[in-house]
Copies of this chain bind each other. A is one copy, B any other.
């Protein structure tokens, strides 16, 4: 069973520029992370964009949706900034019905040592294999249904809108 991973950027892949002291995107760390996890799943990785999710436009989301639709894989993971991943999830849930799509991200860049990224990637890969068709967010060790989840800005945690 092949799994498609689409990379869109977000905290996950940010790095520290030691000359300017700013955070920036260089390359994705997905390959490195999968290697660290000794992951032997057949995955196809493609970078769609490398942006902060606060800067993601409707056109960007259209692009993501189109790639999800046309991918031959029925199981898709999207790495995404946490600030607007619930928006992308909701949009995708309206358009795509017959695939299992799991969106995940990180609160701390993978390169910063104390990141939740590796944990989240492990959980997203497991959820996408085991959950039925639908669009989900995988954060905090949990999965949430698209449309029934928000990021709590005070705590940084993801919460259900309506308890299922």
Residue numbers of A with Cβ under 8 A of B are 11, 16, 18-19, 21, 23, 33-34, 36-41, 52, 107-109, 111-116, 118-127, 129-131, 138-143, 153-154, 156-157
Contact = CB atoms under 8 A, between A and B. Distances in A.
28 contacts: A11-B21, A16-B109, A16-B112, A18-B107, A18-B108, A19-B153, A19-B154, A19-B156, A21-B23, A23-B23, A36-B116, A37-B140, A37-B141, A38-B140, A38-B141, A39-B140, A39-B141, A40-B142, A40-B157, A41-B142, A118-B118, A119-B122, A121-B122, A126-B126, A126-B127, A127-B130, A129-B142, A130-B130
B127 A38 contact: no
Contact of A38 (B38, B107, B154): B107
A37 B119 contact: yes
A113 B99 CA distance: 35
This protein's copies in its complex = 4
Given A119-B119, A122-B118, A122-B119, A140 B40 contact: yes
Contacts of A107: 18, 38
Contacts of A142: 40-41, 129
**Among A21, A38, A107, A112, residue most surrounded by chain B Cβ atoms (within 10 Å):** A38
**Among A33, A41, A122, A125, residue most surrounded by chain B Cβ atoms (within 10 Å):** A122
A42 B156 CA distance: 17
A122 B141 CA distance: 7
